[in-house]
Structure 1
Amino acid sequence: MITNITLQEVKLHCRIDESDTLEDSLLQVYIDAALEACQKHIGKSFDKQEFTPAIKAGCLMYIAHLYENREMVTTNAVNEVPLAISSLWSVYRDPAIY
């Protein structure tokens, strides 16, 4: 799997201090999960040419969503983010994927 998203980019997006390495392995799992989810959503594997800024933005949003909502139960209101992610990814979606 191509990983065109760095830990530094994720930390910047999630407002995590770059020197804080405590959660690096967790963030890497989220990076891998976001790339996998995106490829499943669009119905194809992407290479370097297909990894567009919109796909990357959607992946960063998905990673931040996973990071901020990692608990199974919460007392806080949870806002659904996938609509924004889906709108970024859907333009690359294979028409045969439902």
Structure 2
Amino acid sequence: MAELITLEEVKLHCRIDGDDENALINGYIVAALEICQKHIGRRFDDGLEFNPALKVGCLLLVGHWYEHREIAAEKTSELPFSTSSLWNYYREPGVY
């Protein structure tokens, strides 16, 4: 799978100037792409088009995780509304 979201795009989106958290941010990118595919019920390497709505949803999710990385005790099983509202349109019927 080609690089769908670059580190530079996320750093611009999150307004991050330094390089000391690059590994953390790259992990968030990989995780957001995986969660996106699981949420929708299709894979990018199996015909799911990585369109602007999916990309913005991933950027928002990475930004959310980055800003709230210290929270461990709060309910975290649900996607932020902004992300799910972008992705739900593409969700396969019957995916839970």
TM-score of the superposition, structure 1-length normalised?
A: 0.83
Tell me, yes or no, if the aligned pair for 1:65 and 1:81 is still in contact at 8 Å. no
Does the alignment pair 1:56 with 2:48?
no
How many residue pairs get aligned? The number is 91
Does the alignment pair 1:35 with 2:71?
no
Match of 1:83 among 81, 84, 92: 81
CA RMSD of aligned residues (A): 2.1
The SS at the match of 1:67 is: helix
Tell me, yes or no, if the aligned pair for 2:32 and 2:58 is still in contact at 8 Å. yes
Is there any run of 5+ residues in structure 1 with no aligned partner, and where?
75-79
Matching residue of 1:94: 92
Structure 1 segments (4+ residues) deviating >6 Å? none
**CA distance, structure 2, for counterparts of residue 44 and residue 21 of structure 1:** 33
**CA distance, structure 2, for counterparts of residue 49 and residue 96 of structure 1:** 16
1:73 CA displacement: 5.0
**Per the alignment, do residues 81 and 39 of structure 1 end up closer, same or farther by CA in structure 2, a change over 3 Å counting?**
closer
Percent sequence identity over aligned pairs: 57
Is there any run of 5+ residues in structure 2 with no aligned partner, and where?
none
